[in-house]
Amino acid sequence: MSASKRPLAGDLPDAYLGYLAEVPDGDIVMTLAVAWTETKALLRGLDEERARHRYQAGKWSIKEILVHLMDTERIFVTRALCFARGESAPLPGFDQDAYAAHSQAGLRTLAELIEEFQWMRGGHLRFWRGLPEAAWQRRGIASGGEFAVAAIPWILAGHERHHRRIIRERYL
């Protein structure tokens, strides 16, 4: 398994297979780089009012979705780092709704959040590009499920595509 080989069903928990299905074949690191360009283009023209909009009571705003994408990516890349370096202890899950509730995304400008995402993704792309081939093969347990390191960037790319689609369909 490597950056260009699509993970198989046993390389990630079944709950993430939908994200995997969202991602086209190819070099996943390049896919993540292009994904951010597409997400940024979707968000760049929005004003603050639109970025705070919720299409329904109890749903996240676009700003909260963006912070959710960053929180998720940070956690999953940390998982990949741990597994790539041989961590054998199971890693905890996280409650995305609790994270969103505490994010205070609405207190920040959309431009600040976009810039933060840009810096974060850039660092993560360097991480993925620097992983030795053997590290892509390693596995670990998080949230009670087994993940191959190589499956994690595919999950992230599919997760981002999923939320981009939701933004286009329900917010814009």
In a domain, 4, yes or no: no
In a domain, 19, yes or no: yes
Q: What's the pLDDT tens digit per position in 10-43?
A: 999 999 999 999 999 999 999 999 999 999 999 9
For residue 39, the enclosing domain spans 9-171
pLDDT above 80 (res 4) = no
Measured between alpha carbons, how far is 47 from 92 in angstroms, rounded to an integer? 36
In a domain, 128, yes or no: yes
Considering its fold, how many domains does the chain have in total?
A: 1
In a domain, 1, yes or no: no
In a domain, 2, yes or no: no
**Model confidence band, residue 3 (pLDDT cutoffs 50, 70, 90):** low
pLDDT score of 16 = 97
In a domain, 91, yes or no: yes
SS (H, E, C) the chain: CCCCCCCCHHHCCHHHHHHHHCCCCCCHHHHHHHHHHHHHHHHHCCCHHHHHCCCCCCCCCHHHHHHHHHHHHHHHHHHHHHHHCCCCCCECCCCHHHHHHHCCHHHCCHHHHHHHHHHHHHHHHHHHHHCCHHHHHCEEEECCEEEEHHHHHHHHHHHHHHHHHHHHHHHC
Rounded to two decimals, what is the model's pTM? 0.96
pLDDT above 90 (res 165) = yes
In a domain, 3, yes or no: no
pLDDT score of 160 = 98
In a domain, 152, yes or no: yes
Average pLDDT, the chain: 96
pLDDT above 90 (res 148) = yes
Q: What's the pLDDT tens digit per position in 98-115?
A: 999 999 999 999 999 999
Q: What's the pLDDT tens digit per position in 59-99?
A: 999 999 999 999 999 999 999 999 999 999 999 999 999 99
Measured between alpha carbons, how far is 172 from 167 in angstroms, rounded to an integer? 6
pLDDT score of 2 = 57
What CATH number corresponds to the domain at position 68? 1.20.120.450
pLDDT score of 5 = 87
pLDDT above 90 (res 164) = yes
**Dihedral of the CA atoms 40, 46, 161, 144 (nearest 10)?**
100
